[in-house]
C-alpha cells in the first residue's frame, strides 16, 4: 500500500485545470447502458472509481475504454443484469446501474452496497421509488433482485433529496411507459448534468436543479458525445488548500456558480476568492479567520464533500469554529488523525468544535475515506515538518494523482512505497 511523504510549510502557487466531475461521470457512464449506440464521455479524470465502474460495466458485456481523457462505451452486447458482489461492495456507485439495467433488460440483481466510512448509506429511497414504478423487489442474502417487466411512470415524492436515488429513478424512468415526476429531487449540478446527458441521447427530461423533475418515457435512445461538468469538489479542495497553507492558486475550466456556498464562506475569511470567467483565484498570505458555524446541507447548501477540507483550514485559523455535518452521520473519522498533528477538536454527535492553533505538526496519519484523505494531504502541506499519509487508495478514488497536482503547485510531496 503506497503512501505519500509530505514536507510542509511551503505556500502553494500556480494554476490547475479541472477535469470532469467524478460524481457526474459515474452516473453518466451508467446511463450509457440505455442505448446500444456508441457513446463518448470527454475530459474524464484517471481515478479508480471510474476504472472500477468500467470493470463492472465490462462484466455486463460493455466494451468500454479510457484512452487519454476520452471514455468510449459500446453497449451493443451489454445484456448483463447482475453486478458481482465483490465489485458492488468496492464501489457504491455501482448501485446507479440498477435504474438503467431495469430500463434496458427489465431485470437486475445488485448486491446491497452497504455502508462505508462516512455512514450507513441506506438505499430505502431508491427502492421505494422503484417499487412505486412497478418494480418487484426481493432481497436475499444481501442481494437485491428486481423484476421490472411492469416498469411504468409514476408520481414520486422523495423523503430526502438523495443524489443517488434521484439519478437511479431518472434513469429507470426515461424508457418506462408514461410520465414520471420526481418531487423533492436532489438539486446538485451533477443531477442537471445527468439530465443534459439523457436529453442529448433523445430522452424527454426537464426540471433538474429544481424541486420537481418531469420525465416522459420514450421507446429508444441514441448515442452521444458529451463533456460532463467540471469537478466542483476537486476545485474546492484546491482553493481550500491555498487558504489553509497560504499562496496564490487558480483553478481553471470550472463553473464558479457550482461553488457558491464555498465562495460565500471563503469571502468571510481572510482570503477572498476572485472569479474571472471559468477561473477562480485565491490568494492567501495570512492566517485564515475562523468560521463561527459551518453546516453541511444538500445543494445549494454547503457540500458535505468539502467539510473535511474546511475542518483542516479551521484547525489553523484564529479563534474557535464549529462544524455541523447534516448529511452523513460519521464523517469525522479524520478528527483522530488531525489530533495526532496537534489539532484541538472535540466532537459530539454531528457537531465538531475546532480551536485553531498557529500550525499543525507533521505526523504519520491514515486516510479513512476519500475526502478525509485529501484533507489530510492539505494538513500535511501546511504543517511543520514531515507527514506521511497512508492508505492512499482512498484518495485515488476521486483525485487524479493528487501528489502531482500539489507538486505542480510547489508543495513538497511525493509517493513512496
Q: Among all residues, which ones are annotated catalytic? A: 116
Instruction: State the Cα–Cα distance between residues 338 and 332, nearest whole angstrom.
Output: 10
Q: Which is nearer to ligand EPZ, 119 or 319 (CB)?
A: 119
Q: Which residue is nearest to ligand EPZ (CB)?
A: 164
Task: Rule CB under 6 A: say whether 162 interacts with ligand EPZ.
Answer: yes
Q: Which is nearer to ligand EPZ, 148 or 236 (CB)?
A: 236
Stretch that binds ligand EPZ, among 35-43, 80-88, 123-131, 274-282 (CB under 6 A): 123-131
Stretch that binds ligand EPZ, among 2-10, 138-146, 161-169, 213-221 (CB under 6 A): 161-169
Q: How far is the CB of 413 from ligand EPZ (least distance, A)?
A: 21
Q: How far is the CB of 117 from ligand EPZ (least distance, A)?
A: 10
Instruction: State the Cα–Cα distance between residues 153 and 122, nearest whole angstrom.
Output: 24
Write each residue from 21 to 40 as x if it is in contact with ligand EPZ (CB under 6 A), else as -, in one continuous string. Answer: -xx--x--------------
Instruction: State the Cα–Cα distance between residues 286 and 67, nearest whole angstrom.
Output: 42
Q: Which is nearer to ligand EPZ, 228 or 247 (CB)?
A: 228
Helices (H), 247-392: 260-267, 307-315, 334-340, 370-382
Strand bridging mode 12-17 / 247-252 = parallel
Instruction: State the Cα–Cα distance between residues 10 and 305, nearest whole angstrom.
Output: 25
Per CB under 6 A, the list member of 122, 202, 319, 385 interacting with ligand EPZ is 122
3-state secondary structure of 416: strand
C-alpha cell at 158: 422523495
Is 65 within 8 Å of 72 (Cβ atoms)? yes
Per CB under 6 A, the list member of 327, 363, 366, 409 interacting with ligand EPZ is 327
For ligand EPZ (CB under 6 A), the number of binding residues is: 25
From the list 377, 245, 231, 371, the residue with the least C-alpha distance to 313 is 245
Tell me how far CA of residue 102 lies from CA of 56, 220, 297, 308, in angstroms: 16, 14, 31, 36
Cis peptide before 406 (omega within 30 of 0): no
Q: How far is the CB of 355 from ligand EPZ (least distance, A)?
A: 27
Q: How far is the CB of 289 from ligand EPZ (least distance, A)?
A: 26
177 phi and psi, to 5 degrees? -70, 130
Task: Rule CB under 6 A: say whether 123 interacts with ligand EPZ.
Answer: yes
Q: How far is the CB of 97 from ligand EPZ (least distance, A)?
A: 12
Is 261 within 8 Å of 303 (Cβ atoms)? yes
Is 81 within 8 Å of 61 (Cβ atoms)? no
Task: Rule CB under 6 A: say whether 371 interacts with ligand EPZ.
Answer: yes
Task: Rule CB under 6 A: say whether 304 interacts with ligand EPZ.
Answer: yes
> 154-190: buried (b, 16+ CB within 10 Å) or exposed (e) per residue?
bebebeebbbbbbbbbbbbbbbbeeebbbebbbbbbb
Q: Which is nearer to ligand EPZ, 208 or 271 (CB)?
A: 208
Q: Which is nearer to ligand EPZ, 115 or 410 (CB)?
A: 115
**By the criterion CB under 6 A, which residues form the site for ligand EPZ?**
22-23, 26, 93, 119-126, 160, 162-165, 186, 304-305, 327-328, 370-371, 398
Amino acid at each position: 500500500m503506497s503512501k505519500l511523504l509530505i514536507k510542509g510549510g511551503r505556500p502553494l502557487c500556480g494554476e490547475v485545470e479541472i477535469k470532469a466531475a467524478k460524481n457526474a461521470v459515474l452516473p453518466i457512464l451508467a446511463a450509457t447502458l440505455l442505448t446500444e449506440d456508441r457513446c463518448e464521455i470527454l475530459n474524464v479524470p484517471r481515478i479508480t472509481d471510474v476504472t472500477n465502474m468500467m470493470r463492472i460495466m465490462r462484466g455486463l458485456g460493455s466494451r468500454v475504454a479510457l484512452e487519454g481523457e476520452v471514455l468510449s462505451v459500446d453497449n451493443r452486447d451489454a445484456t448483463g443484469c447482475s453486478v458481482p458482489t465483490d465489485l458492488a461492495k468496492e464501489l457504491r456507485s455501482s448501485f446507479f446501474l440498477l435504474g438503467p439495467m431495469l430500463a434496458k433488460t427489465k431485470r437486475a440483481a445488485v448486491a446491497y452496497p452497504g455502508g462505508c466510512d462516512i455512514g450507513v448509506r441506506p438505499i430505502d429511497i431508491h427502492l421505494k421509488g422503484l417499487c412505486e414504478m412497478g418494480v418487484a423487489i426481493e432481497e436475499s442474502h444481501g442481494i437485491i433482485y428486481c423484476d421490472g417487466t411492469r416498469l411504468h411512470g409514476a408520481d414520486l415524492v422523495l423523503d430526502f433529496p438523495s443524489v443517488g436515488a434521484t439519478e437511479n429513478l431518472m434513469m429507470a424512468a426515461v424508457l418506462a411507459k408514461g410520465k414520471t415526476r420526481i418531487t423533492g429531487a436532489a438539486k446538485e449540478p451533477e443531477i442537471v448534468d445527468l439530465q443534459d446527458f439523457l436529453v442529448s441521447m433523445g430522452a424527454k427530461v426537464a426540471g433538474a436543479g429544481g424541486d420537481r423533475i418531469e420525465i416522459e418515457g420514450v421507446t429508444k435512445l441514441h448515442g452521444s458525445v458529451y463533456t460532463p461538468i467540471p469537478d466542483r469538489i476537486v476545485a474546492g479542495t484546491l482553493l481550500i488548500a491555498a487558504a489553509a497553507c497560504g499562496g496564490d492558486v487558480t483553478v481553471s475550466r470550472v463553473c464558479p456558480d457550482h461553488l457558491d456556498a464555498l465562495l460565500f464562506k471563503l469571502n468571510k475569511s481572510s482570503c477572498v476568492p476572485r472569479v474571472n470567467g471559468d477561473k477562480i483565484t485565491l490568494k492567501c498570505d495570512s492566517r485564515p479567520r475562523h468560521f463561527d458555524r459551518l453546516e453541511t446541507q444538500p445543494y445549494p447548501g454547503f457540500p458535505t464533500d468539502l467539510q473535511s477540507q474546511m475542518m483542516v483550514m479551521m484547525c489553523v485559523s484564529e479563534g474557535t469554529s464549529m462544524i455541523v455535518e447534516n448529511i452523513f452521520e460519521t464523517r469525522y473519522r479524520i478528527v483522530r488523525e488531525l489530533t495526532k498533528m496537534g489539532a484541538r477538536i472535540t466532537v459530539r454527535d454531528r457537531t465538531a468544535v475546532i480551536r485553531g492553533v498557529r500550525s499543525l505538526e507533521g505526523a504519520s496519519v491514515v486516510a479513512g475515506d476519500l475526502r478525509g484523505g485529501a484533507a489530510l494531504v492539505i494538513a500535511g502541506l501546511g504543517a511543520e515538518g514531515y507527514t506521511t499519509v497512508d492508505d492512499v487508495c482512498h484518495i485515488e478514488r476521486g483525485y487524479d494523482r493528487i501528489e502531482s497536482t500539489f507538486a505542480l503547485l510547489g508543495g513538497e510531496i511525493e509517493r513512496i512505497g
